[in-house]
Amino acid sequence: MKQTVKSIAAAAFVVGLVPFSVSAEEEEKILLKTPVAFGTHLPALGTPIKWFADHITATSGGTIQMRIYEPGKLVSPPEILDAVSTGKVNSGYATAGYWQGKLPAAPLFSAVPFGPEAGEYMAWLFFGNGMALYQEMYDAGGYNVKVLPCAIISPETSGWFSKPIESPEDLKGLTMRFFGFGASVMEKLGVGTVQLPGGEIFGALEKGAIDATEFSQPAIDQRLGFQKIVKYNYFPGWHQQATVFELLINKDTWNDMSENQQAAVETTCMASITYSISEGEAMQFTVMQQAQQDGVEIRYWNDEMLNLFETTWLDVVEENKREDAFFAKVWADLSEFRSNYQLWEAHAFLPRASR
């Protein structure tokens, strides 16, 4: 039954895009060679780009195909942006937080500590100024790429620890794998941070090279085996309440596409966003239930720690605003949108305790 539903949904999606194939015989065929930053076996993290690849041929009327290269097979994840921009490859799949060292504002288009959840994030991107600023960042940075959000996931876990963390003192001296702006927060609190790819985290924990880690959602962390070594899993994922993943296309390749082909790519990415958020939301609770049976202690940060994380994050924001004008510009726009959104959020949703 589940496969039938998926097949019907896919068929309906393709039928809805039939106009894209009207002049397919007149369009040049394009092969998108796409190195990815995340293994396609990882649910909601790597599976959305595989879903995109499986559907783009149909939605483009057979004129676009995608060939995926698993992490490190053609281009290493940190090199994807440069490789796409220079034309070494014509597309790539990653998350903008990887480019923080090149573009200081990039993580604001990836995951924002104490930031918007998925619905609010998408609202800012697609109906606020988010997408215009997102593309401006790459253009102003000299990168020859077209950016398209192509997946989004809801909150991550806040981290896996070998001991309870009850106070700020418990963090001091730890070495922890951390990503994005969240790492900047942890460093201010006395944590030594490293950014390791997912496949290297288990070994680092096992050897004692790191004391703790965050990576992604429970279903993804479980695939990587963290629960076998560290037993304290903390929530909420204050550092990543939602994470956006991007499809980067070399701008020359993008400009050579017909309007139909561009529309097919944009529409399939929008569908992939729906796929990713739905898949991620559907599988977390069963994994958490199993983790508890396996001896994992699921914990929620106390108020002291959450307040500390938030005030430290705001210090990081002020530092970045002083150091980078474009960061300040994006932060001001996002903050204004969020301030206005609060009127809706405060009145439209039930208090969490009532849900």
How large is the average pLDDT for residues 262-287?
A: 96
Answer whether residue 350 shows pLDDT above 80. yes
Q: Give pLDDT, residue 197.
A: 83
Q: Give pLDDT, residue 23.
A: 53
Q: Kindly give, in sequence order, each residue whose CB lies less than 8 Å from that of residue 59, ignoring residues fewer than 6 positions away.
A: 13, 14, 17, 20, 264, 267, 268
Task: Please report, as a single letter, which amino acid is at residue 137.
Answer: M
pLDDT band (50, 70, 90) for residue 195: confident
Q: Give pLDDT, residue 2.
A: 42
257 DSSP 8-state letter:
S
Mean pLDDT over the full length of the chain: 91
**Cβ pair 177, 194 in contact under 8 A:** yes
Minimal CA–CA distance to 93: which of 35, 153, 151? 35
Instruction: Please tell me the CATH superfamily of domain 11-151+244-282, with its number.
Output: Bacterial extracellular solute-binding protein, family 7 (3.40.190.170)
Domain ranges of the chain: 11-151+244-282
Answer whether residue 11 shows pLDDT above 70. no
Measured CA to CA, the distance from residue 281 to residue 115 in angstroms comes to 18
The structure's pTM equals: 0.89
Instruction: Mark 135-170 as b/e (b = at least 16 C-beta within 10 Å).
Output: bebbeebebebbbbbbbbbbbbbbbbbeeebeeeee
According to DSSP H, which parts of the chain are helical?
A: 2-16, 47-59, 80-86, 118-127, 130-140, 180-188, 198-207, 218-224, 251-256, 259-293, 303-323, 325-348
Instruction: Mark 34-43 as b/e (b = at least 16 C-beta within 10 Å).
Output: bbbbbbbebb
**Cβ pair 326, 320 in contact under 8 A:** no
Q: Which residue has the higher pLDDT, 353 or 261?
A: 261
Q: Give pLDDT, residue 353.
A: 57
Q: What angle do CA 133, 136, 140 make, to 5 degrees?
A: 140
- pLDDT (tens digit per residue) in 25-54: 578 999 999 999 999 999 989 999 999 999
How large is the average pLDDT for residues 110-118?
A: 96
pLDDT band (50, 70, 90) for residue 196: confident
**Cβ pair 94, 37 in contact under 8 A:** yes
Q: Give pLDDT, residue 83.
A: 98
Say what angle helices 303-323 and 180-188 make with each other, to 10 degrees.
110
Q: Give pLDDT, residue 352.
A: 64
Three-class SS state of 249:
strand
Using only C-alpha atoms, what is the Rg of the chain? 21
Measured CA to CA, the distance from residue 291 to residue 289 in angstroms comes to 5
pLDDT band (50, 70, 90) for residue 319: very high
**Cβ pair 164, 232 in contact under 8 A:** yes
Q: Give pLDDT, residue 102.
A: 96
pLDDT band (50, 70, 90) for residue 18: very low
Q: How many CB atoms neighbour CB 27 within 10 A?
A: 19
The tokens of 130 are what? 């988010």
Provide the percentage of residues in the chain whose pLDDT is more than 90. Answer: 86
104 preceded by cis ω (within 30°)?
Answer: no
pLDDT band (50, 70, 90) for residue 199: confident
One-character DSSP codes across 168-236 = GGGTTT-EEE--HHHHHHHHHTT-EEE---HHHHHHHHHHTS-SEE--S-HHHHHHHTGGGT--EEEE-
Q: Kindly give, in sequence order, each residue whose CB lies less than 8 Å from that of residue 70, ignoring residues fewer than 6 positions away.
A: 36, 39, 40
**Cβ pair 111, 96 in contact under 8 A:** no
- Tell me which residue has tokens 């991620």: 280
